[in-house]
């Protein structure tokens, strides 16, 4: 039995978990999906894959974790590629999907790779149906819809579905996160624009990042509202004066609701983002199935990486007893 982790080369969390697995003298294999030499060689009673580091045979007795399974595009864009090249890329993508299904049909695994990128507005709809408060949310490409939202709210939060990276004049890269707008900003907004998620802006007392695994929650409170740089979106980090992070224990009623949301979304691991307003109302924002949790583990001394390593080892040992 060995532990197989599907990941990406830059994911340090995977490295830390592997270090713990090796500390306990168990075998672990890492398959980076962005490895340019990754190939699925064969799939039958076992599966054989090739990476930069060699060839590995995967078996039904192994334990699998889809840590960062989101498909790196194997189909490149650009006129310089031939039709034959596109054909080969599509074939390799289908082979990877076949490998995923082989693991899910025959093996013990953690995290469904096909639910790794759930839609944000769908998440909010599910959260509402599970009894969680959510911001009033629409998706639109028209200025008139923003004007209608301003008839109800004095401030709005706008954001894209995913994080936008912008190249700057000095060759650095900045990311566009959530932005707050007010009525006086309407003159700068065109009549039509690329689609945006538009929500009422909620003044927060603090926000929560809660990672869950095996139905256990590891929660951290983030006091981001006192810093103009992080007030709207704490991911716009202030490295000179970091936000205050503290351990936080979620009430059971919220844990139950979050687990119900996870169940409806088909998730067994992920990081929840929640904001708490000054009346102590809890608002669900989103859940990231494959997000980083080191920022919760390390400041709060939760040692999540060790816990996950031991959980994977335990699953492997139980698998061997069957």
Are residues 16 and 101 located together in one domain of the fold?
yes
Are residues 144 and 102 located together in one domain of the fold?
no
For the chain, what is the mean pLDDT?
Answer: 85
Domain assignment present for residue 157? The answer is yes
> For the residues 66-73, what does the mean pLDDT come to?
74
Domain assignment present for residue 293? The answer is no
Q: How far is CA 27 from the centre of its chain?
A: 26
166 pLDDT higher than 50: no
pLDDT at 195: 84
Are residues 194 and 208 located together in one domain of the fold?
no
Domain assignment present for residue 122? The answer is no
78 pLDDT higher than 60: no
100 pLDDT higher than 80: yes
Are residues 10 and 107 located together in one domain of the fold?
yes
Among 158, 185, 200, give the residue marking a domain's end: 200
- Portion of the chain with pLDDT greater than 70, in percent: 84
Highest mean pLDDT among 242-251, 288-297, 304-313: 304-313
Identify the DSSP state of 133.
Answer: B
Identify the DSSP state of 311.
Answer: H
Domain assignment present for residue 105? The answer is yes
Label residue 172 by pLDDT band (50, 70, 90): very low
Are residues 20 and 107 located together in one domain of the fold?
yes
Label residue 295 by pLDDT band (50, 70, 90): confident
pLDDT at 161: 73
Backbone φ and ψ of 171, nearest 5° = 70, 10
pLDDT at 198: 92
> Cα angle vertex 175, ends 171, 179, to 5°?
140
Label residue 71 by pLDDT band (50, 70, 90): low
| Residues 198 and 156 sit within 8 Å (Cβ to Cβ) | yes
* CA pseudo-torsion sign 54, 57, 58, 61: negative
More confident of the two residues 177 and 151: 151
Domain assignment present for residue 305? The answer is no
**At 78, which CATH number?**
3.40.50
pLDDT at 118: 77
pLDDT at 41: 95
pTM value is 0.84
> For the residues 84-107, what does the mean pLDDT come to?
87
Are residues 282 and 216 located together in one domain of the fold?
yes
Range of the domain at 280: 204-288
- Tell me which residue of 46, 20, 18, 47 sits closest to 30, measured CA to CA: 18
- Tell me which residue of 305, 290, 316, 315 sits closest to 113, measured CA to CA: 290
Are residues 217 and 185 located together in one domain of the fold?
no
Among 179, 200, 221, give the residue marking a domain's end: 200
Among 200, 221, 239, give the residue marking a domain's end: 200
More confident of the two residues 291 and 122: 122
More confident of the two residues 278 and 223: 278
**At 163, which CATH number?**
3.30.1490
- Portion of the chain with pLDDT greater than 90, in percent: 56
Are residues 186 and 152 located together in one domain of the fold?
yes
77 pLDDT higher than 60: no
Are residues 284 and 227 located together in one domain of the fold?
yes
Label residue 151 by pLDDT band (50, 70, 90): very high
22 pLDDT higher than 90: yes
| Domain count of the fold of the chain | 3
59 pLDDT higher than 90: yes
| Residues 140 and 195 sit within 8 Å (Cβ to Cβ) | yes
pLDDT at 194: 83
Are residues 193 and 235 located together in one domain of the fold?
no
Are residues 10 and 100 located together in one domain of the fold?
yes
- The rounded radius of gyration (Å) of the Cα atoms in the chain is 22
More confident of the two residues 260 and 88: 260
Give the whole-angstrom CA distance, residue 99 versus residue 141: 38
Domain assignment present for residue 301? The answer is no
Domain assignment present for residue 121? The answer is no
**At 224, which CATH number?**
3.30.470.20
Give the whole-angstrom CA distance, residue 223 versus residue 238: 12
Domain assignment present for residue 58? The answer is yes
Q: With both helix axes pointing from N to C terminus, report the angle between 304-321 and 12-23 in degrees, rounded to the nearest 10.
A: 60
pLDDT digits (tens, 9 = 90+) for 230-279: 555 555 554 565 567 889 999 999 999 999 999 999 998 999 999 999 99
Label residue 79 by pLDDT band (50, 70, 90): low
Are residues 181 and 266 located together in one domain of the fold?
no
- Tell me which residue of 5, 16, 4 sits closest to 293, measured CA to CA: 16
pLDDT at 72: 55
Give the whole-angstrom CA distance, residue 111 versus residue 213: 10
């Amino acid at each position: 039995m060995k532990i197989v982790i599907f990941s990406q080369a830059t994911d340090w969390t995977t490295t830390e978990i592997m270090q713990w697995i090796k500390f306990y003298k168990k075998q672990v294999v890492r398959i980076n999906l962005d490895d340019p030499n990754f190939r699925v060689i064969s799939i039958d009673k076992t599966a054989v894959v090739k990476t930069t580091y060699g060839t590995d045979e995967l078996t039904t007795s192994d334990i699998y974790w889809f840590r960062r399974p989101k498909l790196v595009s194997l189909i490149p864009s650009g006129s310089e590629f031939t039709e034959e090249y596109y054909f080969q890329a599509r074939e390799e993508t289908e082979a990877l999907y076949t490998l995923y299904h082989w693991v899910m049909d025959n093996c013990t695994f953690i995290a469904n790779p096909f639910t790794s990128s759930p839609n944000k507005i769908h998440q909010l709809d599910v959260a509402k149906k599970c009894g969680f408060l959510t911001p009033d949310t629409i998706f639109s490409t028209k200025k008139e819809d923003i004007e209608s939202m301003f008839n109800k709210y004095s401030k709005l939060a706008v954001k894209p579905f995913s994080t936008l990276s912008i190249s700057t004049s000095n060759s650095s890269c900045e990311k566009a996160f959530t932005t707050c707008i007010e009525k006086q900003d309407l003159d700068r907004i065109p009549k039509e624009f690329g689609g945006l998620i538009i929500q009422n802006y909620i003044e927060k007392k603090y926000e929560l990042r809660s990672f869950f695994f095996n139905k256990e929650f590891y929660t951290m409170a983030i006091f981001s509202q006192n810093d103009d740089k992080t007030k709207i979106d704490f991911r716009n980090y202030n490295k000179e004066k970091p936000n205050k992070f503290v351990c936080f224990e979620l009430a059971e009623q919220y844990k139950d609701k979050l687990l119900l949301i996870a169940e409806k979304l088909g998730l067994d691991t992920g990081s929840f983002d929640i904001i708490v307003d000054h009346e102590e109302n809890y608002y669900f924002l989103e859940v990231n199935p494959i997000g980083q949790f080191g920022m919760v583990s390390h400041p709060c001394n939760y040692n999540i990486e060790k816990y996950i390593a031991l959980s994977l080892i335990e699953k492997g040992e139980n698998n061997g007893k069957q």
